[in-house]
Amino acid sequence: MRTEQPKMIYLKDYQAPDYLIDETHLTFELFEDHSLVHAQLVMRRNPERGAGLPPLVLDGQQLELLSVNLADQELTDADYQLSDSHLTVHPTSATFTLDTTVKIHPETNTALEGLYKSSGMFCTQCEAEGFRKITYYLDRPDVMSTFTTTVIAEQHSYPVLLSNGNPIASGPGEDGRHWATWEDPFKKPAYLFALVAGDLWCVEDTFTTMTERTVALRIYVEPENIDKCQHAMTSLKKSMRWDEETYGREYDLDIFMIVAVNDFNMGAMENKGLNIFNSSAVLARAETATDAAHQRVEAIVAHEYFHNWSGNRVTCRDWFQLSLKEGFTVFRDSGFSADMNSATVKRIQDVAYLRTHQFAEDAGPMAHAVRPDSFIEISNFYTLTVYEKGSEVVGMIHTLLGAEGFRKGSDLYFERHDGQAVTCDDFIKAMEDANGADLSQFKRWYSQAGTPRLAVSESYDAAAKTYSLTFRQSCPDTPDKVEKLPFVIPVELGLLDGKGAGIALRLVGEAAAGATSRVISVTEAEQTFTFVDIAEQPLPSLLRGFSAPVKLSFPYSRDQLMFLMQHDSDGFNRWDAGQQLSVQVLQELIGQHQAGQPLKLDQRLIDALRTVLSDERLDQAMVAEMLSLPGEAYLTEISDVADVDAIHAAREFARKQLADHLFEGLWLRYQANRELSKQTPYVAAAEHFARRALQNIALSYLMLSGKPEVLAATLDQFDTSENMTERLTALAVLVNSPFEAEKAKALAVFAENFKDNPLVMDQWFSVQAGSTLPGGLARVQALMEHPAFTLKNPNKVRALIGAFAGQNLINFHAADGSGYRFLADLVIELNAFNPQIASRQLAPLTRWRKYDSARQALMKAELERIRASGELSSDVFEVVSKSLA
């Protein structure tokens, strides 16, 4: 908890460090009621900062200083200054060693930052600024050092002692204790430090690198989870191979370890050679984890592994550059997932997520550029903008330079900056230098927040056979008040003729026609592109593959969207045409609801989805995606003032109508796929995911019919399926149904079966928290009393509170404000012991400007109540004060 008013930190104030740390030697003595940390730092004056020896100011928080030696001299109180965030000493020569000993309390650390205990084991989380809670240090990413770490602990309870790098020695100690020493030869910033001590088992494998080196791979888990590691291990080996083949990146140490812990503030952490993971991002097997969970494990294992180059070997100079490693690494893991599964489906899922959540963030009070100019608490900037939009920005560079040019750029970046802490500018420079390209205007994507709008209009000249597209770009104001200049917007497009075939494209002035799909760059506020030799009025297919993170509008009629849904050669745009059609139809229903008229669903949506449903050639995962209507959160995001009740009523009405009209087609596909599921052992692979995805979305529609044969099928799927994907879908479908007795029984059976598996219980909480039937808040409050629930475990908070406030919009936004009050109470409670989780859970309240004036007032009142509730962490303080500004 802070003691001073939190301060804003600015990128423009960046200065290189006064001192550097060449070597860091740490010894940890772990005990049950405290731990001791001895640090020996081999330091020198930073030559870049000139002569003279300024005071050395080390970061440190919540540390009890026991001793400090400078250049082998023990210092007395008079020789140093101590505050609750810094230790200042006064070097007398340009090179020296500093030795400190501090006492810390991992056993009472509930913030899960620094060194803490989770389910009896010691573990660490240092990014971004957690290392300062372990020892006095220059806790900033541009100070890179080699590390040796000795861990000493009681042998029986902590047989496994791990840290970064390679193990170099170990042995028994006194009083039943033992020790191990690890050496990490690669210079790294302190945020990549890790330590683990616990009673863990491991699954082992090896990987042979491209230069034939053998790397030992180990995944450490609590003994009862040893049977749930194989999927993560397979994913790791695939990632290592893919990074060699796609980016030429080879792993560097002799060993790579993953440790699963139950209490973790986010998904996972890329500590050098010793990744620490939320157990939800490691453990997966058919019986206990859904297809979505399997895909998440594969993606997160890959993401953390890829950081070994994009983040660790080449790291960030300062935290404003966070997207340098995160945006790039998300781009890399998306490419990996696309290659391992269906690329189009991966793109659809990523874009749906970006449009729903990142666009909302970019339009709210916490909007910030991919490279922010300022922050109060860096933990608040691990955002969708830094990660997801950051990845889109890297993706646009890939589109502009082409795959080969991009690879040349990334090779140069890694080669030029290996072992350095650099900036987003250095990344762009490498891309430019490797390709002779000029990305100076493109760089505005890093400094201008907000989602650009791109309005497109057309004109066809039949006599001249020319077709022109005019693009007008604009970008809304954001809280940073940065002036918005035109972006470089790569638009991949094609033109369809009356039969749906692509037309070979030739722009005015070009010698010959080329391919039927191409990328044009919109660089001005308004710009027209004219195509020649166009024999008939074409239909444009714009922003194929979502080639830029913008809101594109073109005045398509519903018939034109149906045509694109059937004929576009770009799979992403076929899906997107369906989404645009659904949005038009749903907005019409919302209007009818608001006007008090009877709702009437446009027959064209029914017909379009019937065609999709009966298309046997279409990838089943695509069919499933196309059958999914835009979510309530997305409909909220695209509304000026979101009418919660009308959105919910319209969408539910459309779902019910579709279920009734398409019943037969859905039932056929459901039954065919369910039969296959019964006959096929579970496989975590794309075609199997696809089959189950269609089966399960079909079931969720079918249940809306209330027909007894569907209930029977659901109960059968729940009772007899051995995989969690089918079981959980059946449970969710029951939970959202009116069949009270069956619902109660299924919930009880499920809880009894899985009471010893916390990750499965998280699913059980989530499914209930997401139920949009009336009485949602009371159900959530009752579940908080369940013995398996605790606010101390972030996964539980996300599963119950996060799912309720983030996904159950009709209940969370209850007109009496009860949902808001509930969330504010929890944020106040969480703020006292886990600020990062408190601040994350707060997000739904920050969106108050989206709602009607009555709800706005209620939401603001809760934000104000949080602000006045006492001493706020810097995390919660920043979000609340920016939301109210």
Among residues 29, 304, 326, 637, the one annotated as catalytic is 304
- Mark the segment that binds ligand B3K (CB under 6 A) among 263-271, 339-347, 530-538, 820-828: 263-271
The answer to whether 139 contacts ligand B3K (rule: CB under 6 A) is no
99 binds ligand B3K (CB under 6 A): no
Backbone angles phi, psi at 133, to 5 degrees: -95, 5
Q: Which residues of 195-231 are buried (b: 16+ CB within 10 A; e: fewer)?
A: bbbbebebbebebeeeeeeebebbbbbbeebbebbeb
Which helix (H) or strand (E) segment is 306 a member of?
Answer: helix 291-306
382 is in the binding site of which of Zn ion, ligand B3K, none (Cβ under 5 to 8 A by kind)?
ligand B3K
Q: CB under 5 to 8 A by kind: which of Zn ion, ligand B3K, none does 862 bind?
A: none
382 touches ligand B3K (CB under 6 A): yes
Nearer Cβ to ligand B3K (303/743): 303
127 binds ligand B3K (CB under 6 A): yes
- Binders of ligand B3K: how many residues, by CB under 6 A? 12
Distances (CA, A) of 18 to 54, 60, 138, 377: 7, 17, 10, 23
602 forms part of the interface with ligand B3K (CB under 6 A): no
Find the shortest distance in angstroms from Cβ 195 to ligand B3K.
16
State the distance between the two ends of the chain, measured CA to CA, in whole angstroms: 23
SS (H, E, C) 853-878: HHHHHHHHHHHHHHHCCCCCCHHHHH
CA angle 660, 666, 672 (to 5 degrees): 155
By the rule CB under 6 A, 128 interacts with ligand B3K: yes
The residue behind tokens 């000029």 is 438
Of the candidates 579, 693, 588, the one whose C-alpha atom is nearest the C-alpha of residue 630 is 579
> Is residue 621 a contact residue for ligand B3K (CB under 6 A)?
no
Bridge partners of 182, per DSSP, are 149, 167
Of all residues in this chain, which one has the CB nearest to ligand B3K in the complex?
127
Query: Residues binding Zn ion: what is the number (CB under 5 A)?
Result: 2
Q: Which is nearer to ligand B3K, 332 or 796 (CB)?
A: 332
CA dihedral 824, 826, 827, 833 (to 10 degrees): 160
User: To the nearest whole angstrom, how small is the minimum distance from the Cβ of residue 841 to ligand B3K?
Assistant: 15
What would the 3-class secondary structure string for 195-255 be? EEEECCEEEEEEEECCCCCEEEEEEEECHHHHHHCHHHHHHHHHHHHHHHHHHCCCCCCCE
Q: Please say whether the beta carbons of 166 and 182 come within 8 A.
A: yes
Cβ neighbours, 10 Å, residue 680: 11
Residues 268-297: x/- map of binding to ligand B3K (CB under 6 A)?
xxx---------------------------
Tokens of 548: 């830029």
Number of H helices, E strands in the chain: 30, 31
CA 374, distance to chain mean position in Å, is 21
Among 298, 326, 576, 643, binds ligand B3K (CB under 6 A): 326
Find the part of the chain contacting ligand B3K (CB under 6 A) among 300-308, 401-409, 426-434, 551-559: 300-308
Q: How far is the CB of 378 from ligand B3K (least distance, A)?
A: 8
Site for ligand B3K in 352-381 (CB under 6 A): 379
Q: How far is the CB of 423 from ligand B3K (least distance, A)?
A: 17
- What SS3 string covers 657-678? HHHHHCHHHHHHHHHHHHHHHH
Backbone angles phi, psi at 441, to 5 degrees: -70, -35
Q: Binding segment for Zn ion among 72-80, 324-332, 756-764, 877-885 (CB under 5 A)?
A: 324-332
CB of 215 or CB of 266, closer to ligand B3K: 266
Please choose, out of 60-68, 165-173, 264-272, 481-489, the segment that lies near ligand B3K by the rule CB under 6 A.
264-272
Is 244 an active-site residue? no
Q: Which of residues 303-322 bind ligand B3K (CB under 6 A)?
A: 303-304, 307
Q: Which residues of 552-571 are buried (b: 16+ CB within 10 A; e: fewer)?
A: bebebebebbbbbbebbebb
Q: Give the SS3 label for residue 518.
A: strand
- 380, interface contact from ligand B3K, Zn ion, none, CB < 5-8 Å by kind: none
CA atoms within 13 A on the CB side of 87: 31
> Binds 128, which of ligand B3K, Zn ion, none (CB < 5 to 8 A, cut-off by type)?
ligand B3K
Q: What is the rounded CA–CA span in Å between residue 672 and residue 682?
A: 16
Beta carbon of residue 307, minimum distance to ligand B3K (angstroms, whole number): 6
CA dihedral 648, 651, 656, 657 (to 10 degrees): 140
Whose Cβ is closer to ligand B3K: residue 586's or residue 827's? Answer: 827
Nearest residue to 40 (alpha-carbon basis) of 115, 114, 96, 87: 96
With CB cut-offs between 5 and 8 Å by kind, which of Zn ion, ligand B3K, none does residue 379 bind? ligand B3K
* Contact partner, 142, from Zn ion, ligand B3K, none, Cβ < 5-8 Å per class: none
* Choice between 382 and 487, CB closer to ligand B3K: 382
123 belongs to the binding site for ligand B3K (CB under 6 A): no
**From the CB of 717, what's the least distance to ligand B3K, in Å?**
35
How far is C-alpha 435 from the chain's CA centre? 30
Q: What would the x/- binding string for Zn ion be over residues 278 to 317, using CB under 5 A?
A: ----------------------------------------
Residues that bind ligand B3K (CB under 6 A): 127-128, 266, 268-270, 303-304, 307, 326, 379, 382
* Residues belonging to the active site: 304
Residues that bind Zn ion (CB under 5 A): 326, 329
